[in-house]
C-alpha cells in the first residue's frame, strides 16, 4: 500500500492533517479537495446548515454550518449504477484524526485497481451525524428533517453498502464493530459476518460492544459475559439513536456499519496498513456482490461476534409478556359481561358513562402532548426566569411536566363524577391494557429492545394495578417502574455494564443529557423514541396511575 | 545360411506387420463415423460462476487441440467472464490458479453468448429446428455419420439443469431431444458429459441407441469446485472437469486410449463425489471406443499404392486456333441492390449485355 506503508510519509500526512485541522476553522475543505483530486477522484462539496431547536452541550450554538467533501472513484469498466461508500467523520481535535488519513491512503490504492464494478464514494463529513444526514438527504433527494443543504453536484449509483471509520490513533489493538442504527435498526448480519471473517483471516483482534470474545461458553462466567454483551446491545438499540455515522444509512435500506479502532494497553498492536488491508478485503467482497445483502437476518441480538440470537428466538419471550396483558383483558371482559352484584339496598351501580372513561384518556393524552411540545417551546421563558442554560431548561421542563402529570388526573376524576364507579375503572383498565398491548407489540416490531424493556417494566404494573391495592406501596412501585425512572436506572446499568460505573451525581447529569439528546435526535434525524414515550407510553402509564387513584 | 536366416526374419517381420496392418485397418473403420461435432454449453451466469465458463472453455481448448475445427463446434457461454467488470485480468479466463493457463486466448469463437443461451435455443440446436436465417456457425449440421460430444456444466439438481438462473431443462426433455436426433438421423454415436450437482440424474431417462453418458456426481451428491484463486477471488474450475482436462492433456490425435480410461477419471478420492457413467445404450463395447472418436477429429487416411482409373466425364473443349474472331462473352456483375431505383424512384433500367 503506497501511502501508508512508509512510516515517514504516514507521519507527515498525519502531521499535516492535524495542523490543518485547527479547531477554529473546522474542516480543511480546500486541502481535502486538492488531495482527493490529486488521487484521481471526482471531488464535490456540499454545504449545509441547520438550526438546532436548542443548543446542546457539544455545539453550544443554535446554528450548525458545515461542508461535506466527497470524492467518487469511478469504476473503470462498469456502468455507474451501483456504489459503495467509505466515510470518515472529520471532527476537530483528537477524536478521529487518523481516519481521514487512512481513507485517503485507501483511495489512492483503490484508484490503481481495475476490478471495481461499483463506484466508490469517499466521504468526509463534518459535524458527524448532522453532516451525514445532510449528505444522505441530498443524495436521495429527500428532505425529511428540515435541514438546509446545497444539492449534490456529483452522484454515483444506488448505494449498496457503506462503512464508517473512526480511528484516533495510527496503531490499534483491536477493532470494534458498531451496528446499532437509528430507531434500533440493524444492518444485515452478513455485514457483521464479513467483518468477523476478515478479522480472523488477517489476524486482528475484533470486538463488539467493546467486549472481547471468550471461549468458555459453558461456564457461568462465560455465559454471564455473553449476556452482558447482549444486554449492552439491547440497551443501545433501545435508545434509538445512531451509535455511529452508519446509523443514518440504514433508513435508506443501505447496509452500513461503523468500525472503531481502539488503542488500549495490549502487547500486540496492529498498524494502519493492516487495518487498510482488512478494509480492502471487505470492499472487494462487497464489490463482488450482485444484489443487496439480504440473505441473513435483519433482526438479531449479538452476544459476541460469532454468536447471535435471532428474532425467532427472542420474539416468543416478548410474546409471553404480551399474553399476560391479553389474559388480564380477557379476565376483565368476563367480569364486565357478568351482571353487576346488587347491593343491600337494591341500588345498582349506574352504567359508567362513556364520559368517565373518555375523560382520563383525553387528559392523559393532552398531558403527553404537553410533554412533547412544551419543553422546546417554553425554553426562552424558562431561561428568563431561572438561571439555567437552554439545554437544562428544556430537560427540566420535561421533567416538570412529567411530574405534574402525576397530580393532574388524580384531581379531575374527583371533580367530574365525585366518586368513581366499580364498573368504570374496569372499563378503563380494559381499554388501557389493550392499548398497552397494542402499543408494546408495535414497538417491539420496530425496535425490539425498546419494546421489551418497556414491557418488562410496564406489564407487571398494568396487570396488578386496581383501586383496591394498598395505595402508597403501589404508587411507589408505579413511579419506580414508570418510563422516566426506567431510563434513570438504565443509565446507571449501562455504565455498570461498560465497566465504567458512575456516582449518583454524575449519573444524574448523564441522565439529563440523555433526555436532551433524545429530544435533539428526534428533531434532527427523526428518531422515534421521544415522541413514542411522550405521546403514547406516558399517557398509557398515566391511565394506570389514574386507575390506582380511582376511588 | 545367414542370408536365409535374414530372409526368413524379414518374411516373419513382414507377415507380422501385415497382420498389424490388417488389425489397424480393421480398427480404422470400426467406429463408423466420418465427422465429429461438439456442443459445449455453460449454463450459468454471474461472476461467482466463473468456474463453469472456465470448465467449458477448457474442454473447448482440448477439443480444438485434438482436431475439431471451430466450424464443427457450437460453443454456448451464458455469461462473459473475460470482460466482466470484476475480472482483475480482463480478457482472460484462467483454469489453473496462479494464472498458469489462460483458456480464453485469442481465437475463441463463442456461438451462443449471454442471453442467447436458453433451453429453447439449446434444444433447437440439437434437433436442428432453427429458423432459416440462423447462420451456419450456430447450427449443428450433423448427419448420420457424425459423432457428437455434448458437454454441459452449470448448476443442476435431481432431474434438471438450471439455465441462466431463470429456467430449467429436465432429463425427460433431454432424452426426448436425443430421440428426435436419432429419428432424424442426426448422429452416429453421442457422448454426453455433464458436470453439475446430481448430474447422474440427467442421463437416467435416455432411451435412444448409441448414447454414452458420463456425469460428475450421483443423485444426492454435490459436485465440488477445485481451487480458488486468491487474486481473482473465485473458484476457477470444478473438480471433475479439472481432472478430465488433465486426462485429456495426455491425449494426442494418435493415442489409443479408450472409454474405459475415461470412466476412471476423477475417482472419489479426488472428486469427493462419485462420477458415474452409462453405457447400456451404446451398441459397441466401450473398450473399443477411442477417446479421439469423440474428442478429436481424426481423419481416416488410407494410403494406397495402386493407380485408380478415372473414367473421363469432362469433354475437352477443342481449342480452335484457326478461328480468331471467337465471340467472347463479356460478363459483368449484377447490381447487388438497385440503388438508383430505391433512391430516385426510377423504374428499373433495362440491363442487357
Closest partner CB to A115 (pick from B46, B83, B86): B86
Of the pLDDT bands very low, low, confident and very high (cuts 50, 70, 90), residue B337 is low
Please state, in angstroms and as integers, the Cα–Cα distance from residue A5 to each residue in A8, A60, A73, A274, B80, following that order. 9, 40, 21, 10, 36
Chain B residue at shortest CA distance from A291: B46
Read off the pLDDT of each residue in A513-529 and give the average, rounded to a whole number. 91
pLDDT at position A337 over 60: yes
pLDDT of residue A68: 93
Q: What is the DSSP letter of A251?
A: G
pLDDT of residue A3: 46
pLDDT of residue A427: 87
Contact call for A290 and B46, based on CB within 8 A? yes
- 68-97 in B: which are within 8 Å (CB) of A? 83-88, 90
Which pTM was predicted? 0.83
Out of B42, B197, B266, B271, the active site residue is: B197
pLDDT at position B335 over 70: no
Q: With contacts defined as CB-CB under 8 Å, which chain B residues touch A115?
A: 85-88
- DSSP for B73-125, written as a single string: EEEEESS-STT-TT-SSTT--BSSGGG--BSS-S----SEEGGG--HHHHHHH
Nearest-neighbour CA in chain A from B86: distance (Å)? 5
Chain A residue at shortest CA distance from B50: A288
A331, burial (CB in 10 Å: exposed 0-12, middle 13-18, buried 19+): middle
Of the pLDDT bands very low, low, confident and very high (cuts 50, 70, 90), residue B165 is confident
pLDDT of residue A447: 93
Q: With contacts defined as CB-CB under 8 Å, which chain B residues touch A287?
A: 86
pLDDT at position A350 over 90: no
Contact call for A77 and B47, based on CB within 8 A? no
Please state, in angstroms and as integers, the Cα–Cα distance from residue B274 to each residue in A97, B125, B269, following that order. 58, 30, 9
Q: SS3 for A92? A: coil
Read off the pLDDT of each residue in A382-392 and give the average, rounded to a whole number. 80
Q: With contacts defined as CB-CB under 8 Å, which chain B residues touch A290?
A: 46-48
Q: Any catalytic annotation for residue B197?
A: yes
Of the pLDDT bands very low, low, confident and very high (cuts 50, 70, 90), residue B342 is low
pLDDT of residue B320: 55
Please state, in angstroms and as integers, the Cα–Cα distance from residue A280 to each residue in A196, A209, A367, B1, following that order. 14, 23, 53, 87
Contact call for A290 and B87, based on CB within 8 A? no
Closest partner CB to A77 (pick from B46, B85, B234): B85
Percent of chain A with pLDDT over 70: 88
Closest partner CB to A114 (pick from B48, B88, B234): B88
* A117 contacts chain B (CB < 8 A): yes
pLDDT of residue A300: 94
- Mean pLDDT, chain A, rounded, equals 86
Length of chain B: 353
Q: How many beta-carbon pairs under 8 angstroms link A with B?
A: 27
Query: A474-502, pLDDT tens digit by residue?
Result: 889 999 999 999 999 999 999 999 888 88
The position carrying cell 455504565 is: A495
* B253 contacts chain A (CB < 8 A): no
Of the candidate ranges A47-56, A304-313, B121-130, the one whose mean pLDDT is the lowest: A47-56
pLDDT of residue A348: 46
Read off the pLDDT of each residue in A266-292 and give the average, rounded to a whole number. 90
Contact call for A115 and B47, based on CB within 8 A? no
Among B49, B85, B230, pick the best mutation site for testing chain A contact (most A Cβ within 10 A). Answer: B85
Nearest-neighbour CA in chain B from A120: distance (Å)? 14
- Mean pLDDT, chain B, rounded, equals 85
Whether A216 contacts A275, CB under 8 Å: no
Closest partner CB to A288 (pick from B83, B90, B233): B233
Q: With contacts defined as CB-CB under 8 Å, which chain A residues touch B86?
A: 115, 117, 287-288
Please state, in angstroms and as integers, the Cα–Cα distance from residue B156 to each residue in B41, B48, B112, following that order. 13, 16, 20
Closest partner CB to A290 (pick from B47, B90, B234): B47
Query: CA A123 to CA A58: how far, in whole Å?
Result: 22
* A517 contacts chain B (CB < 8 A): no
Query: B239-257, pLDDT tens digit by residue?
Result: 999 999 989 989 988 888 9
* B48 contacts chain A (CB < 8 A): yes
* A114 contacts chain B (CB < 8 A): yes
Nearest-neighbour CA in chain B from A113: distance (Å)? 8
Whether A359 contacts A460, CB under 8 Å: no
pLDDT of residue A23: 42
Nearest-neighbour CA in chain B from A260: distance (Å)? 27
Contact call for B85 and A78, based on CB within 8 A? yes
Of the pLDDT bands very low, low, confident and very high (cuts 50, 70, 90), residue B296 is confident
Query: CA B312 to CA B335: how far, in whole Å?
Result: 38
pLDDT of residue A46: 95
* A289 contacts chain B (CB < 8 A): no
* A78 contacts chain B (CB < 8 A): yes
Among A73, A79, A80, A115, pick the best mutation site for testing chain B contact (most B Cβ within 10 A). Answer: A115
- DSSP for A109-130, written as a single string: HHHT-S---SEEEEEEEETHHH
A250 Cβ neighbours under 8 A, 6+ residues apart: A181, A182, A185, A186, A187, A256
Helix H or strand E encompassing A492 = helix A483-497
Query: CA B271 to CA A501: how far, in whole Å?
Result: 59
Query: A143-196, pLDDT tens digit by residue?
Result: 888 889 999 999 999 999 999 999 888 788 999 999 999 999 999 999 999 999
Of the candidate ranges A448-452, B81-85, B261-265, B313-317, the one whose mean pLDDT is the lowest: B313-317
Nearest-neighbour CA in chain B from A244: distance (Å)? 30
Contact call for B86 and A290, based on CB within 8 A? no
Contact call for B85 and A290, based on CB within 8 A? no
Of the pLDDT bands very low, low, confident and very high (cuts 50, 70, 90), residue A136 is very high
Closest partner CB to A117 (pick from B48, B86, B234): B86
Nearest-neighbour CA in chain B from A317: distance (Å)? 39
Chain B residue at shortest CA distance from A112: B88
pLDDT of residue A22: 42
Query: CA A108 to CA A93: how far, in whole Å?
Result: 25
Query: A220-241, pLDDT tens digit by residue?
Result: 999 999 999 999 999 999 999 9
* A288 contacts chain B (CB < 8 A): yes
Percent of chain B with pLDDT over 70: 83
Length of chain A: 551
Q: SS3 for B196? A: coil
* B267 contacts chain A (CB < 8 A): no
pLDDT at position A530 over 90: yes
Whether A186 contacts A300, CB under 8 Å: yes
* A287 contacts chain B (CB < 8 A): yes
Q: With contacts defined as CB-CB under 8 Å, which chain A residues touch B79?
A: none
Q: SS3 for B309? A: coil
Q: With contacts defined as CB-CB under 8 Å, which chain A residues touch B44?
A: none
Model-level ipTM above the cut of 0.90? no
Nearest-neighbour CA in chain B from A188: distance (Å)? 21
Nearest-neighbour CA in chain A from B233: distance (Å)? 9
pLDDT of residue A518: 92
Query: A83-102, pLDDT tens digit by residue?
Result: 999 999 987 766 777 888 89
Amino acid at each position: 500500500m503506497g501511502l501508508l506503508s512508509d512510516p515517514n510519509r504516514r507521519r507527515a500526512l498525519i502531521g499535516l492533517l492535524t495542523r490543518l485541522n485547527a479547531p477554529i476553522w473546522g474542516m480543511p475543505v480546500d486541502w481535502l479537495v486538492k488531495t482527493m483530486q490529486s488521487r484521481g477522484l471526482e471531488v464535490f462539496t456540499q454545504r449545509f446548515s441547520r438550526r438546532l431547536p436548542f443548543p446542546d452541550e457539544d455545539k453550544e450554538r443554535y446554528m450548525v454550518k458545515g461542508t461535506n467533501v466527497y470524492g467518487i472513484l469511478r469504476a473503470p469498466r462498469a456502468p455507474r449504477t451501483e456504489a459503495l461508500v467509505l466515510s470518515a467523520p472529520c471532527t476537530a481535535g483528537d477524536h478521529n484524526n487518523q481516519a481521514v488519513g487512512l481513507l485517503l491512503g485507501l483511495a489512492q490504492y483503490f484508484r490503481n485497481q481495475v476490478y471495481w464494478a461499483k463506484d466508490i464514494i469517499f466521504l468526509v463529513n463534518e459535524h458527524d451525524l448532522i453532516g451525514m444526514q445532510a449528505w444522505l438527504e441530498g443524495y436521495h433527494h429527500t428532505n425529511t428533517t428540515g435541514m438546509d443543504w446545497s444539492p449534490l453536484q456529483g452522484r454515483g449509483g444506488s448505494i449498496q453498502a457503506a462503512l464508517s471509520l473512526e480511528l484516533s490513533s495510527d496503531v490499534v489493538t483491536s477493532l470494534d464493530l458498531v451496528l446499532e442504527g437509528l430507531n434500533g435498526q440493524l444492518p444485515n448480519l452478513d455485514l457483521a459476518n464479513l467483518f468477523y471473517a476478515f478479522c480472523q483471516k488477517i489476524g486482528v483482534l475484533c470486538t463488539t460492544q467493546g467486549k472481547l470474545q471468550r471461549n468458555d461458553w459453558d461456564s457461568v462466567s462465560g455465559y454471564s459475559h455473553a449476556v452482558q454483551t447482549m444486554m449492552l446491545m439491547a440497551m443501545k438499540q433501545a435508545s434509538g439513536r445512531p451509535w455511529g455515522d452508519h446509523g443514518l444509512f440504514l433508513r435508506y435500506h443501505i447496509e452500513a456499519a461503523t468500525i472503531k479502532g481502539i488503542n488500549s494497553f495490549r502487547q500486540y498492536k496492529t498498524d494502519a496498513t493492516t487495518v487498510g488491508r482488512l478494509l480492502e478485503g471487505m470492499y472487494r467482497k462487497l464489490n463482488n456482490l450482485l444484489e443487496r445483502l439480504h440473505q441473513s437476518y435483519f433482526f438479531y441480538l449479538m452476544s459476541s461476534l460469532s454468536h447471535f440470537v435471532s428474532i425467532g428466538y427472542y420474539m416468543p419471550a416478548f410474546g409471553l409478556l404480551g399474553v399476560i396483558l391479553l389474559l388480564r383483558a380477557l379476565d376483565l371482559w368476563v367480569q364486565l359481561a357478568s351482571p353487576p352484584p346488587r347491593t343491600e339496598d337494591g341500588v345498582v351501580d349506574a352504567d359508567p358513562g362513556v364520559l368517565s372513561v373518555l375523560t382520563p384518556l383525553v387528559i392523559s393524552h393532552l398531558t403527553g402532548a404537553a410533554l412533547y411540545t412544551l419543553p422546546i417551546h417554553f425554553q426562552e421563558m424558562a431561561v428568563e426566569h431561572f438561571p439555567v442554560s437552554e439545554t437544562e431548561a428544556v430537560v427540566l421542563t420535561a421533567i416538570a411536566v412529567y411530574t405534574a402529570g402525576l397530580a393532574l388526573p388524580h384531581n379531575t376524576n374527583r371533580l367530574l363524577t365525585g366518586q368513581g364507579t366499580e364498573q368504570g375503572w374496569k372499563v378503563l383498565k380494559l381499554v388501557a391494557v389493550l392499548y398497552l398491548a397494542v402499543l408494546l407489540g408495535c414497538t417491539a416490531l420496530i425496535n425490539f429492545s425498546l419494546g421489551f424493556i418497556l414491557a418488562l417494566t410496564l406489564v407487571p404494573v398494568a396487570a396488578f394495578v386496581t383501586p383496591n391495592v394498598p395505595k402508597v406501596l403501589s404508587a411507589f412501585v408505579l413511579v419506580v417502574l414508570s418510563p422516566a425512572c426506567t431510563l434513570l436506572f438504565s443509565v446507571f446499568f449501562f455504565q455498570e455494564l461498560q465497566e465504567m460505573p458512575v456516582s449518583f451525581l454524575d449519573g444524574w447529569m448523564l441522565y439529563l443529557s440523555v433526555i436532551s439528546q433524545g429530544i435533539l435526535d428526534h428533531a434532527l434525524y427523526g428518531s422515534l423514541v421521544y415522541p413514542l414515550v411522550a405521546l403514547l407510553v406516558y399517557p398509557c402509564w398515566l391511565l394506570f396511575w389514574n386507575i390506582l387513584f380511582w376511588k | 545360411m545367414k542370408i536365409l536366416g535374414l530372409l526368413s526374419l524379414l518374411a516373419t517381420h513382414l507377415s507380422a506387420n501385415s497382420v498389424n496392418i490388417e488389425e489397424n485397418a480393421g480398427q480404422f473403420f470400426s467406429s463408423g463415423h466420418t465427422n465429429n461435432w461438439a456442443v459445449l454449453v455453460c449454463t450459468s451466469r454471474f461472476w461467482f460462476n466463473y468456474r463453469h465458463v472456465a470448465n467449458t472453455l477448457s474442454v473447448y481448448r482440448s477439443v480444438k487441440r485434438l482436431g475439431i475445427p471451430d466450424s464443427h463446434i457450437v460453443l454456448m457461454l451464458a455469461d462473459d467472464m473475460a470482460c466482466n467488470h470484476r475480472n482483475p485480468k480482463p480478457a482472460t479466463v484462467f483454469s489453473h490458479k496462479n494464472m498458469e493457463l489462460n483458456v480464453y486466448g485469442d481465437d475463441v469463437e463463442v456461438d451462443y453468448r449471454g442471453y442467447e443461451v436458453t433451453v429453447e435455443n439449446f434444444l433447437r440446436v440439437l434437433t436442428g429446428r432453427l429458423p432459416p436465417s440462423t447462420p451456419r456457425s450456430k447450427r449443428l449440421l450433423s448427419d448420420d455419420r457424425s459423432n457428437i460430444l455434448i458437454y454441459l456444466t452449470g448448476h443442476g439438481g435431481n432431474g434438471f439443469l438450471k439455465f441462466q438462473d431463470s429456467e430449467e431443462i429436465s432429463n425427460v426433455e433431454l432424452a426426448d431431444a436425443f430421440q428426435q436426433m436419432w429419428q432424424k438421423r442426426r448422429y452416429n454415436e453421442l457422448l454426453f458429459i455433464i458436470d453439475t450437482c446430481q448430474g447422474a440424474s440427467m442421463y437416467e431417462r435416455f432411451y435412444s441407441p448409441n448414447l454414452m453418458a458420463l456425469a460428475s456426481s450421483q443423485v444426492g451428491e454435490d459436485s465440488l469446485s477445485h481451487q480458488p484463486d486468491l487474486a481473482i477471488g473465485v473458484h476457477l474450475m470444478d473438480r471433475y472437469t479439472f481432472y478430465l482436462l488433465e486426462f485429456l492433456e495426455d491425449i494426442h490425435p494418435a493415442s489409443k486410449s479408450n472409454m474405459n480410461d475415461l470412466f476412471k477419471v476423477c475417482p472419489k478420492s479426488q472428486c469427493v463425489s462419485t462420477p458415474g457413467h452409462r453405457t447400456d445404450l451404446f451398441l459397441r463395447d466401450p473398450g473399443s471406443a477411442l477417446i479421439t472418436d469423440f474428442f478429436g477429429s481424426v481423419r481416416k487416411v488410407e494410403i494406397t499404392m495402386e493407380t485408380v482409373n478415372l473414367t473421363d466425364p469432362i469433354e475437352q473443349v477443342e481449342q480452335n486456333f484457326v478461328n480468331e474472331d471467337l465471340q467472347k462473352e463479356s460478363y459483368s456483375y449484377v447490381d447487388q441492390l438497385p440503388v438508383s431505383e430505391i433512391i430516385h424512384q426510377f423504374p428499373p433500367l433495362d440491363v442487357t449485355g
